[in-house]
Amino acid sequence: MPVAVIKIPYSKGFVDLEVSNENLLAVLESKAHHFKTEEDQVTIAKRALENPIDSPRLMELAKGKNKIVIITSDHTRPVPSKITLPLLLEEIRSGNPNADVTILIATGFHRLTTYEEMMNKFGEEIVKNEKLVNHDCRDKDSLVDVGILPSGGKLILNKLAMEADLLIAEGFIEPHFFAGFSGGRKSVLPGVASGTTVLANHCAKFIASEYARTGILEGNPIHRDMVYAAEAANLAFIFNVVIDSEKKIINAFAGDRVAAHERGCEFVTALASVKAQPADIAITSNGGYPLDQNIYQAVKGMTAAEATAKEDGVIIIAAACNDGHGGKAFYDTFIENPTAQSIMDKIMQIPMEKTIPDQWESQILARILIKHKVILVTDQCDPKMVTDMHMLHAYTLEEALTMAHEIKGEDATVTVVPDGVSVIVGN
């Protein structure tokens, strides 16, 4: 029987998925993965910095500023900072050679980035020669009260960011499963916000909103809070890139925090939008390293499969999860509750001010598990951890597909979303 062979990102490489042509309904891919440009990454990034959107050049903004803070992404995000940060620093110092520059790592609600991870992400030259600071959302001494969010939650942000004469953020724009898109304002909230602020923004009511979905900004209550936080922090300039499946820069947007981000989101939407092909079995990944390091992050990829799986369909996701579950509270929620429905019922009773850590990820995974069986494919973590979280485990995609066909039948239709975090699956 003829088979299609599809490459699925996994850890730092790819694994081959073989699906019978008789069963295969569709392969849904972002056009970004096939987007061809003759220009090298540095040229693309430089042009964006030299032609900012609705903003003076960064070298002009830097003049006369003493304390400049650059917010950058942490170890969980594939922002090519080895390329982008030196360009940002060069632009700042060409306008202000004596500027006191701090690079603030936006860990959001994640654990702190280790020295080894900094070396891997930023390179030796930046780590050894620049001032890098990990944002710690739990360290009250490093935070300052800024006000109240539109949602009513407390806005508490990193002191370094708030005390900066010039606040800049670098990042990347991709579809995001409840903020609509990453990038832009997200560098501030959740990037350098307190745990209290992140919890309020990620409350049960907001996560349940039909507007808190991939590719949606208008009407999205989570996005509204984030925009407000970026304004309150006086985020003056952003530098966001768009990357392909090899994590290479294919476009870049710099300038005003709103206008540049919107332009970038429009570009991503044009590339990433795919039409759902409802199937009995939906297979996806979390885009490989660094996004597939834990189960917490892998929920993102699952939402792409959720959008194209029939109700009661089986979702298969390949994610290494070599760093474990990614959140103790997230893991404990599934251990302590017998069913996904019981988890959902409890979470929907929790008011904004009582939001618990990782509740949002539990809520979304529970939403998926109520309607679908999920098979997580990994050979890099303890299978018991996967089954503890109400999912099935397989070591290989072949094993997972066999399991799925046993559940749904040999004639079951299959839709493949090779990189679940890179697409906006719509009707």
Span between the terminal Cα atoms of the chain, in Å: 31
Other CB atoms closer than 10 Å to residue 228's CB: what's the count? 21
Helix and strand numbers, DSSP H then E, in the chain: 16, 20
d(CA 8, CA 317): 10
Would you name the residues annotated as active-site residues?
110, 176
Q: b vs e for 32-56, b when ≥16 Cβ sit within 10 Å of the residue's Cβ?
A: bbeeeeeeebeebbbebbeebbebe
The distance between the two most distant Cα atoms of the chain, rounded to a whole number of Å, is: 69
Q: Which of 194, 192, 66, 77 is nearest to 133 (CA)?
A: 192
Other CB atoms closer than 10 Å to residue 426's CB: what's the count? 14
Report yes or no: 86 and 117 within 8 Å, Cβ to Cβ: no
